[in-house]
Amino acid sequence: MIAKLRAGGAGIVLVGLLAFSPFVLDLYGLSVITYILLYGVAAISLQLLWGRGGQLSFGHAAFFGIGAYIYAIFTVKLQVPTPLALLLAITLSALLALIIGYFLFFGGVRAAYFSVITLAIALIANQLAISWTPVTGGNAGLIGVPGLSINVFGLELDFTSPVGGFSLALIVLAVALLVTWLIHFRRLGLIFTAIREDETRAAFMGYRTPAYLTALLVISVSLAALAGAAFSAVSNYAAPDMLGAVLSVEMLTWVAVGGRNFVAGALVGVVVLRLLNIQISTILPTSWPLIVGGFFVLVVLLVPAGLVGTFVRLAKRLRPRRLVPVEES
């Protein structure tokens, strides 16, 4: 119970603090934060599937990129109003996740095989984006993607300005935090953890585990697609590098570095690596992929719990022990 309130409180405080950003940061800083927040949601979506469900997706950037492209295509090519395009991005991606879940999870595909197939999906999405030029704009992608503006029932919300874009990103983050909080602290989260711990055992209890895993995939993909669509709306473009293997590995790095077992880990990982990226790009512009790869290898090898994971472990050790009577064996 306490953990539930503490986590919820932390989330609210975080969002609250971030809300002050437009007042304290210049335009450049604001745009950095905006992108960090959106990447952060993508990372959270991956952490949900990986840390909570135990299924490692190697191609999660595909869902982020697909969200971005759906939004872009519908607004630029089909002149669909932006809020509708956003909803379409989410629902169509959710549908895709449902199909993937049906074929993979219900087919008994797990762990390593699942990871490889998600990578294949990412590669294919990337290839499609590059080659299907009339629809996706090919290698250059789509530009001139409009920002989100809602005009419904007299309610006017304009997210097109830099501050508006930031607000959109913040709302998306709040949504993601709410979703993960709801999952984590209800029975559903417990069931996901049980499935992750021992799927066979959960199945023997009567849980239809493929259905649960598919549901988790749908939630995860929807969040990623939401982040991607928002990204496209804020950055006003969609490009193949939003879908590919490099971004997928980066996303894995964020979660691995931050701590794969914690939502906070996903956020910490994004912040650390994005800031690192910005610093290093000024000095060694083309070496970033090499550094990401190398860093990733080192982290997985030496610090598998990630920053947050290691921090939590240390904190537990430093906390004074409870006085417990000695147990007889």
Q: To the nearest 10°, report the CA torsion of 244, 85, 231, 156.
A: 180
Angle between helices 162-185 and 2-18 (to 10 degrees): 180
**Closer to another protein by Cβ: residue 92 or 194:** 194
At residue 143, the 3 state secondary structure works out as strand
**Closer to another protein by Cβ: residue 128 or 175:** 128
Q: Least distance to another protein from the beta carbon of 32, Å? A: 24
**Closest C-alpha to 232, from 94, 88, 122:** 88
Q: Are 22 and 30 in contact (CB under 8 A)?
A: yes
Alpha-carbon distance values, 165 to 46, 97, 149, 233 (Å): 23, 27, 10, 8
**Closest C-alpha to 148, from 222, 41, 228:** 228
Q: Least distance to another protein from the beta carbon of 151, Å? A: 38
Q: Least distance to another protein from the beta carbon of 325, Å? A: 9
**Closer to another protein by Cβ: residue 29 or 289:** 289
**Closer to another protein by Cβ: residue 94 or 305:** 305
Q: Least distance to another protein from the beta carbon of 208, Å? A: 6
Q: Least distance to another protein from the beta carbon of 3, Å? A: 12
| DSSP secondary structure string for all residues of 175-198 | HHHHHHHHHHHSHHHHHHHHHHH-
**Closer to another protein by Cβ: residue 127 or 279:** 127
Q: Least distance to another protein from the beta carbon of 28, Å? A: 28
User: Binding residues for another protein, per CB under 8 A?
Assistant: 56, 58, 103-104, 106-109, 111-113, 115-117, 119-121, 123-124, 127-128, 131-132, 187, 190-191, 193-194, 197-198, 200-209, 245-246, 249, 252-253, 256, 287, 289-290, 292-294, 296-297, 300-301, 304, 329
**Closer to another protein by Cβ: residue 166 or 254:** 254
**Closest C-alpha to 170, from 144, 184, 73, 162:** 162
Dist CA 278 CA 284 (whole Å): 10
Taking CA 185 as the corner, what is the angle to CA 180 and CA 188, rounded to the nearest 5 degrees?
A: 85
